[in-house]
Structure 1
Amino acid sequence: MRALLVVNPKATTTSGRTRDVLTHALRSDLALEVAHTEYRGHARDLARDAAERGLDLVVSLGGDGTVNEIVNGLLTHGPSDRVPRLAIVPGGSTNVFARTLGLPNDPVEATGALLDALEHRRERAVSLGKAMTEGLPDRWFTFTAGLGFDAGVVGRVEAQRKAGRKSTHGLYVSQALRHYVTEREHRRNGPITLELNGQESVPGLVLAIISNTSPWTFLGNRPVFPSPSASFDSDLDIFGITRMTAFGTARTVRQILRSHTPADGATGPVGPTGKHLVSYHDVRHFTLVSQEPAPFQVDGDHLGDRSRVSFTGVRRALRVIV
């Protein structure tokens, strides 16, 4: 089997030792190439080249941003049986996609799990989301996209990281609080409208979180559940807030941090509820339109401001080693 290992040396928990152990282990079973990323988008370019050369497997050693770039490179020409399989060894600060697949968060343990999965040929086909903006390249995402408040927080964190701050869960929390304080007007009158095919539009959203799986993210070891029914086997889930009062926001935060188990008589996990909350499960196509350009993110990567983004869920889009 011909494989490419893509290493992001700047990922939060990626180390030379982890890279060396993984390289040595994989070379015992695979015809392995190793490449280190050198610029933003490099992992995408490496994965696209691997797919065009007919390699069988691409292994990511990095965080969710590295995985997202690789996925977008692999799917440059869309899903097909010729697309290489993806394997992940987590090396970032959160590693949402790997953890929601059930992979160990420790890179050494994940290496062992990967070798075992390769030996026993374990893989699964997962659904993905695709975000489309007129005049810009389409962007695949593995676990989340967002327009509005949450994407603004991601943008703040990226600015802090460029200034030399280390990516930590505490940094995300502090920037979320700062963003809440500074976005007072938008917290009351959201500029975003959700357009659903064949249904009445939902205006006034402060934020819209699109989930391809659950949980949405992690705070340390604690999962966060805005859309607990989201799954790699279905289309996309949408969670929105139309007003962020202090009391209401605190209540919503408590709900999305709680354990979600079916209530008596319920057929699935119970999501957050409230007067200013909206949620939809297993939606194939929809569009978000903002009265003014709003922050936009996919898989924790801030992509600037957007006024209109369409989304689609694509089932069985990619095969992943598990």
Structure 2
Amino acid sequence: MRALLVVNPKATTTSGRTRDVLIHALRSDLKLEVAQTEYRGHARDLAREAAEDGTVDLVVALGGDGTVNETVNGLLSHGPGEKVPRLAVVPGGSTNVFARALGLPNDPVEATGALLNALEARRERPIGLGKAMTEGLPDRWFTFTAGLGFDAGVVGRVEEQRRAGRKSTHALYVGQALRHYVTQREQRRSGPVALEMPGHEPVPGLVLAIVSNTSPWTFLGNRPVYPSPLASFDTDLDVFGITRMTAFGTARTVRQILRSHSASSDDATPVGPSGKHVVSYHDARHFTLVSQEPAPFQVDGDHLGDRSRVSFTGVRRALRVIV
């Protein structure tokens, strides 16, 4: 099998020595070409070239969720299809939500072993993805989440800190979330975002809107976060929103999304957050988020600037993943 390994040399949790060991292990089973990313968007360009070349069977992304997202967008530059190379992931970031949602070990060496076992067993899984569309801008595929409003604002703050030299840690995200909460007092009371979904009345006043393609939405260390516990790679998209972020209500919702997502009995339906200001929808194929003013927007933890209108669609069986 001919494969391309896309390596982010700045990946948080992999050293050069670790990467060399992983490359050696993969070359034992694959006709492997290795390419290191050199700029933002480079993983997308490399994956697109591999897909267009037509001779690559597999693209392996070694890096964090940002590297994976770029790789997916490169593979799907011309849309899903049987000729699109398969995807494999070796986690190398600080959180690795997508890899962990697939059930892969968070350690890159263990994940490489799992990948080699999956290749030997010819084991793959078709997964659904989300697609975000803004008029005048390229469509953006996402693997596990997108968001408009408060959560994307936190992502933007974290990226600013990282550009200033701070290391990406869970403590950094929590700290910036608290800072953002304090500084966004007016928008916490009445958000600018409205949810428009076919067959439903519009839902205005959202402070945040989190779109999930799988669950958990993210991790705090080893602790999963569940705003939409029913979200799955096998369904369309889930939406979680909050119309008002009071101190008490927000603390209650945070406790709910951090608790175990399963009810007491094994076959019970997973329980998600609830409350007066909580909005949630499961398995939605098409919907649009509209903001009265440009609001922060993110996909898979990557801040993409401000948007006033973003449409979403769930695409089932969009990509085949070795897992």
Shift of 1:262: 2.6
- SS of 1:50's equivalent in the other structure is helix
Matching residue of 2:255 = 254
Note closer, same or farther for the CA distance 1:170–1:53 as it changes in structure 2 (3 Å cut): same
Match of 2:213 in 1: 212
| Separation (CA, whole Å) in 2 of partners of 1:199 and 1:4 | 44
Partner of 2:288: 287
Query: Measured at CA, do residues 195 and 263 of structure 1 come closer, stay the same or move farther in structure 2, by a change above 3 Å?
Result: farther
Amino acid at match of 1:16: G
TM superposition outliers: structure 1 runs of 4+ over 3 Å: 263-267
For residues 129-208 of structure 1, the aligned pairs below 5 Å read: 129-208=130-209
Q: Secondary structure at the match of 1:10?
A: coil
Residues of 2 paired with 1:261 and 1:79: CA distance?
A: 33
Written as runs of structure 1 = structure 2, the 5 A alignment for 1:59-74 is 59-74=60-75
Which residue number corresponds to residue 229 of structure 1? 230
Q: Does 1:53 align with 2:53?
A: yes
Corresponding letter in the other structure for 1:39: Y
In structure 2, the residue matched to 1:33 is 33
Q: Is the 8 A contact 1:263 1:270 kept in 2?
A: no
What code does the residue aligned with 1:69 have?
Answer: E
3-state DSSP class of the match of 2:159? helix
For residues 263 and 312 of structure 1, what CA distance do their matches in structure 2 show? 33
Residue 263 of structure 1 deviates from its aligned partner by 5.0
Question: Once structures 1 and 2 are overlaid, which stretch shifts more, 114-123 or 255-264?
Answer: 255-264
* Partner of residue 77, structure 2: 76
Give the alignment's TM-score, normalised by structure 1. 0.99
Task: Give the Cα–Cα distance (whole angstroms) in 1 for the partners of residues 221 and 187 of structure 2.
Answer: 29
Instruction: Give the letter for the 1:70 counterpart.
Output: T
**Alignment coverage as a number of residue pairs:** 322
In structure 2, the partner of 1:121 is: 122
CA contact (8 A) 2:262 2:268 kept: no
Other-structure match for 1:243 = 244
Question: How far has the Cα of 1:275 moved from its partner?
Answer: 0.3
Q: Deviations over 1:76-135 (max 9, x none)?
A: 000000000000000000000000000000001001101101000111000000000000
How far apart, in 2, do the equivalents of 1:31 and 1:106 lie? 24
Q: Does 1:23 align with 2:38?
A: no
| Structure 1 residue 195, shift from structure 2 partner | 0.1
**Would you say the 8 A contact 2:129–2:144 is kept in 1?**
yes
- CA distance in 2: counterparts of 1:268 and 1:100, whole angstroms: 19
1:252 partner SS? helix
Q: CA deviation at 1:14?
A: 2.1
Distance 1:17 1:225 in 2: 35
Q: 5+ residue gaps in structure 2? A: none
**Aligned-partner SS, 2:23:** helix
2:86 & 2:266 partners in 1: Cα distance?
40
SS at match of 1:261: coil
Is the contact made by 1:8 and 1:14 (CA closer than 8 Å) also made in structure 2?
A: no
In structure 2, the partner of 1:7 is 7
**Structure 2 CA distance, aligned partners of 1:6 and 1:18?**
15
Q: Distance in 1 between matches of 2:126 and 2:65?
A: 18
RMSD: 1.0
| Structure 1: runs of 5+ lacking an equivalent | none
CA distance in 2, matches of 1:234, 1:70: 22
The residue matched to 2:47 in structure 1 has which SS? helix
- Where 1:282 maps in the other structure, the secondary structure is strand
**TM-score, normalised via structure 2 length:** 0.98
* Structure 1 counterpart SS, 2:318: strand
Per the TM alignment, residue 266 of structure 1 is displaced from its structure 2 partner at its CA by 7.8
Tell me, in whole angstroms, the C-alpha distance in 2 between the residues paired with 1:265 and 1:46: 44
Output the CA distance in 2 between the equivalents of 1:11 and 1:173. Answer: 21
SS of 1:89's partner is: strand
Matches of 1:191 and 1:265 in 2, distance apart? 39
Which amino acid in structure 1 is aligned with residue 20 of structure 2?
Answer: D
Structure 2 SS opposite 1:304: strand
- The amino acid that maps onto 2:78 is H
Alignment partners' CA distance in 1, 2:29 and 2:181: 50
Work out the CA distance in 1 between the residues paired with 2:261 and 2:280: 15
Distance 2:23 2:249 in 1: 49
